[in-house]
Amino acid sequence: MSQMPAIQTILAKAGLRPTAKRVALAKLLFDGVDKHVTADDVMEMVRRKRLRVSQATVYNSLNQFCAAGLLKRIVIDSSSTVFDTNTSHHHHLFYEDDGHIVDLAGDSISLLGLPDLAEHESLLSVDLILRVGRAHD
């Protein structure tokens, strides 16, 4: 189990003030276990823990965490945005059946033949999603 720094430290390093709501949400997210959550998932966690955090604050905080580099926004399905607590370079296996997502180490797959970009352009990210479903046989 990876040892996480104190929540206060995580927020401080990201330049975010450790307010009550942010600390509460960060505790839910940064517990050392990688997670993939939607805003609604977080609302559900908040409800279960009987916390008092509004939906707007959940959305705002997730966006702030993203901007600060604590979360990564992943685009899997246009129905809702998923946030990933694993911010390192990696890929995703997406199970269409139940919607769960599994991380694949970034170096486990190699991509050959990536195109050259123009001088003034840069590759911001390489997003690879493997969609998996039940075999149809």
Partner DNA sequence: ATAGTTGCAAAAGTTTTGCATTGTA
Partner DNA sequence: TACAATGCAAAACTTTTGCAACTAT
Residues of this chain that bind its own copies (CB under 8 A): 73, 75-81, 93, 96, 104, 108-115, 117, 119-136
In angstroms, what CA-CA distances link 87 with 17, 35, 61, 77, 103?
A: 21, 11, 16, 19, 11
109: tokens are 């797959």
CB of 43 to DNA, least distance (A): 9
Pairing between strand 101-105 and 82-84? unpaired
With CB under 7 A as the contact rule, the residue among 9, 19, 87, 88 that binds DNA is: 19
Distance CA 120, CA 40 (A): 38
Binding partner of 113, given its own copies, DNA, none, CB within 5-8 angstroms per partner class? its own copies
Distance CA 74, CA 90 (A): 11
CB of 60 to DNA, least distance (A): 6
CB of 52 to its own copies, least distance (A): 27
Any contact of residue 50 with DNA (CB under 7 A)?
no
Any contact of residue 20 with DNA (CB under 7 A)?
yes
Any contact of residue 59 with DNA (CB under 7 A)?
yes
Q: Which of 46, 51, 103, 54 is nearest to 74 (CA)?
A: 103
CB of 125 to DNA, least distance (A): 18
108 phi, psi to nearest 5 deg: -80, -15
Contact residues toward DNA (CB under 7 A) are 16-22, 38-40, 52-57, 59-61, 63, 78-81
